[in-house]
Structure 1
Amino acid sequence: MAVLKVTFTKTKRDKLAQVLWILNWVSVVTGMILLSLGLFLKVEIQQRRELMSDREVHSVPNMLIAVGLIACGINFLGGKICYDCVDTAKFLRWKLLMLPYIICTFFFTFLLLVGALMCYCMRNELEESLFVGLRDAMRYYKDTDTPGRCFLKRTVDMLQIQFQCCGNDGFQDWFYVQWIGNRYLDMSSAEVTDRLRSNVEGKYLMDSVPFSCCNPSSPRPCIQQQVTNNPAHFNYDYQEEELNLWMRGCRQALLEYYTHIMQSIGLTVLIIWLFELSVLTGVRYLQTAMENVLRQGDPDSESDGWLLENSFAETARYNFNIIKNLGKCYQVDDDPNIDVPSTAQHESDKVPPKQIPVPS
């Protein structure tokens, strides 16, 4: 029994073909939207690639770019097919191509769904990539004279100012890295040498943060030196002065920023997936209705269209039997009862060479 069978008249078939022609061209536009979203996300990630580790964070934008390009090609071909389906004679040119086209479009819609889910499942990978990337960026913050790292100070400062954040998880992270270069330290000072010797790794650590961690909305001048030393400042308690420094970590700020972008993109891709699925359903109805018209031989007669010619269970069983029979075709028959002629028999079947008589 056919699944979701619908009867189409000649007029309904023509209208269905015309509507699908328009929807396929709309789908070309949605493919361009997917391509644009993928390029936008890729550019956003590339802008802060120095703050991320080399992990697979580009898989989602690459997936969207590929799906967008495929959508433009598939829907352009689908628009041409649906336009020709108005005429039965023109449909004959596409009859053999219709089923492979529908199968390819089905896998394409499946990729769309995968792309939408990837937008929601990328958060953990992105968080780990940001954690490692920001940790390394803070470690190399002081290397303003080292080629390949001289730009990190400006990158981290602009990040903390733009996103109103400080450190990786908080401003305390700066207490555990040396963010002041040795060229700016007075090595003749006893205080400096004592700090360097007191650390196992020979780093100049102190309870201070870069200026970019300062909150300009603070009512008092920014305290970035001796942050945890309350007696060093008048009327100050670093555990209560929340307005003095940015309290949020940059990893959380960037994670929220990219999560918002990916959730918006994921919702858009999910809507496009539903739209593409409806177009695919219409094309399937048009294909089966036109094939039934060809079987009847009358282009003006009514015809039935369906999603599946048989039930889901019968279709699955039929396809499983096809796959099983294909496997049997490649099996080697090892039956011992089969008499295989031996090499000696083959040699005996050979025609002996003609003997030439030797004169006596």
Structure 2
Amino acid sequence: MPFLAIEISEVNRGKLGTVLWIFNWISAGCGVFIAAMGIYFKISVESKMALIEHYNSNVLPLMLAIVGCLSVVLFLAGGKICHSSGQTHSRDKFKGFLQPYICVTLVLAILILAGGSMCFDHRRHLHHSFHRGIRSAMERYKDNTTFKTEIDELQMDFRCCGNNDYRDWFDIQWISNAYLNLQNQDVKEKMKNGHYLNDDVPFSCCDPRAKRPCIHHHITDNNQHYNYDFNVAMTIYQRGCKAALTDYFSVRLENMGGIIMLIFVAQLIVLIGVRYLQTSIYNASVSGDPTMSTPGWLMGDCPLNCGRIPKSVRDKGLKDTESKKTDVESGQDKVSGQGKVSSEPAAQTAEEPIYEEPPAEP
């Protein structure tokens, strides 16, 4: 028995073809959007590559770009196929492309689903990559101008400090020995394993919204500053940059993934519509009248044998054939019956005439 069968008239087949043509053009526009999202993500990640370790920034953008470009090409062609198949005068030329189009669109829908899933999965990859990358950049802060600039811009732009929080700077020597008086007793006291460690953070951690001048040296020593208690009010950012960057990209990846999932649902709707159009046209063809109302469905009697003539249409065709055969036979009987009636008088006239015996002579 067909699954979710719907009777579709010739007029509705034309309307369905037009609707699918519009949906395919919209889907082509969605393909452009998917490719654009891949390019946007690539540019965004590349701007922070100095802070990322062990992350391939090409995988997700390349996946989205390929899927987007394939979507544009496929759905532009699919719009033409669906619209022309819905019209009686052009149906014979394009209806043969409907089933291959369904198969290719199904594969593309799976790729779109994979792209959306990758967007959600890459949040986890970026989280670990930022953890390693930011920590590594902080350790090079004192000697490498490039990493120093990246870290300072990161902390000012994202209003963050350190990797997990500002205390990460306490375990890293971020001031070069060239700017330290190594003979100073205070400096010597703070040298640990050859590294100068103190409760200081770079100036880029300063929060401009703080009321008092920024305190980024001796942060946890209240005695070093007047009217200051670091437990009550600090003048630096307290949020870690790993969390700030992860949230920034996570929101964008979630939005991208959500949009791609909506596009995937739209592709399923297009697939269902094309399948109904294809099966209805096929059933009308095998019935002998391409313009008659026939059912369309998602799956026929045998889902694994799509080329098999559906039972309902096959039975209808057999009934029509038997009806025509009966009409022919009845016509032949009528003609032969008329022939017999007209031939009997002719047979009688062909026989010798029968006369009564004449009366005997007297």
TM bucket (normalised to shorter chain) is 0.7 to 0.9
1:40 alignment partner, SS class = helix
Q: Which amino acid aligns with 1:204?
A: Y
TM-score, with structure 2 as normaliser = 0.79
- Tell me which residue corresponds to 1:234: 226
8 Å CA contact 1:57, 1:125 repeated in 2: no
Please name the residue that 2:312 is paired with: none
Structure 1 residue aligned with 2:4? 4
CA distance in 2, matches of 1:22, 1:297: 30
1:131 corresponds in structure 2 to: 131
Question: Mean Cα displacement is larger for which, 95-104 or 256-265?
Answer: 95-104
Question: Are the aligned partners of 2:218 and 2:224 in contact in 1 as well (CA < 8 Å)?
Answer: yes
CA distance in 2, matches of 1:85, 1:71: 20
* Aligned partner (choices 149, 152, 175) of residue 147 of structure 2: 152
For the aligned residues, what is the CA RMSD? Answer: 2.0
SS at match of 1:151: helix
Task: Tell me, in whole angstroms, the C-alpha distance in 2 between the residues paired with 1:296 and 1:87.
Answer: 18
Q: Aligned partner of 1:166: which letter?
A: C
Residue 303 of structure 2 is aligned to residue 315 of structure 1:
yes
The aligned counterpart of 2:43 is: 43
Does residue 177 in structure 1 map to residue 172 in structure 2?
yes
Q: Bigger shift: 46-55 or 206-215? A: 46-55
After the TM superposition, which residues 64-213 of structure 1 pair with which residues of structure 2 at under 5 Å, given as runs? 64-88=64-88, 90-144=90-144, 150-196=145-191, 199-200=192-193, 202-213=194-205
TM superposition shift of 1:306: 0.9
CA distance in 2, matches of 1:87, 1:217: 67
* Cα distance in 2 for residues equivalent to 1:21 and 1:131: 48
Between the aligned residues of both structures, percent identity stands at: 37
Letter of the 1:172 partner, please give it.
Answer: R
Matched, 1:295 2:290: no
Q: What is aligned with 1:349?
A: none
> In the alignment, what sits opposite 2:333?
none
Report the 3-state secondary structure (helix = DSSP H, G, I; strand = E; otherwise coil) of the residue aligned with 1:31: helix
User: Does the CA-based 8 Å contact 1:57-1:126 persist in structure 2?
Assistant: no
Q: TM-score, normalised by structure 1?
A: 0.80
- 1:171-215 deviation per Cα after TM superposition (whole angstroms, max 9, x unaligned): 10001111112222234434434544xx22x22221100001011
- Code of the aligned partner of 2:167: Q
Distance 2:26 2:124 in 1: 35
CA gap of 1:315–1:83, structure 2 versus 1, over 3 A, is closer
- Distance across 2 between alignment mates of 1:88 and 1:54: 58
Amino acid at match of 1:214: C
Give, in angstroms, the shift of residue 159 of structure 1. Answer: 0.9
- How many angstroms apart in 1 are the aligned matches of 2:293 and 2:27? 29
Deviation sequence 1:54-103 (CA, Å, 0-9, x none): 22455333322222111111101101211221345643344443322211
Q: 1:226-251: CA deviations, max 9, x gaps?
A: 11222111222222223x11010011
Stretches of structure 1 lacking an aligned partner (at least 5 in a row): 145-149, 320-360
Kindly provide the amino acid, as one letter, of the partner of residue 181 in structure 1.
Answer: S
CA distance in structure 1 between the partners assigned to 2:248 and 2:188 by the alignment: 42
* Displacement after TM superposition at 1:34 (Å): 1.0
Contact 1:37 1:265 in 2 (8 A): yes
Task: Work out the CA distance in 2 between the residues paired with 1:195 and 1:256.
Answer: 35
Residue 20 (structure 1) shift: 0.9
Q: What SS is found at the alignment partner of 2:295?
A: strand
Separation of aligned partners in 2, 1:156 and 1:91? 63
From the CA coordinates, give the structure whose radius of gyration is larger. Answer: 2
Number of equivalenced pairs: 306
In structure 1, distance between residues paired with 2:151 and 2:91: 61
Aligned-residue offset at 1:260? 1.2
- Once residues 226 and 87 of structure 2 are traced to their aligned partners in structure 1, the CA distance between those partners, rounded to angstroms, is 88
Provide the rounded CA distance (Å) in 2 between the counterparts of 1:15 and 1:97. Answer: 19
CA deviation vs aligned residue, 1:25-54 (integer Å, no higher than 9, x gap): 111111111111121122111111111112
Distance, in Å, in 2 between the alignment partners of 1:96 and 1:298 is 17
The equivalent residue for 2:261 is 270
Which 4+ stretches in 1 moved above 6 angstroms?
none
Distance 1:14 1:288 in 2: 14
Matched, 1:220 2:212: yes
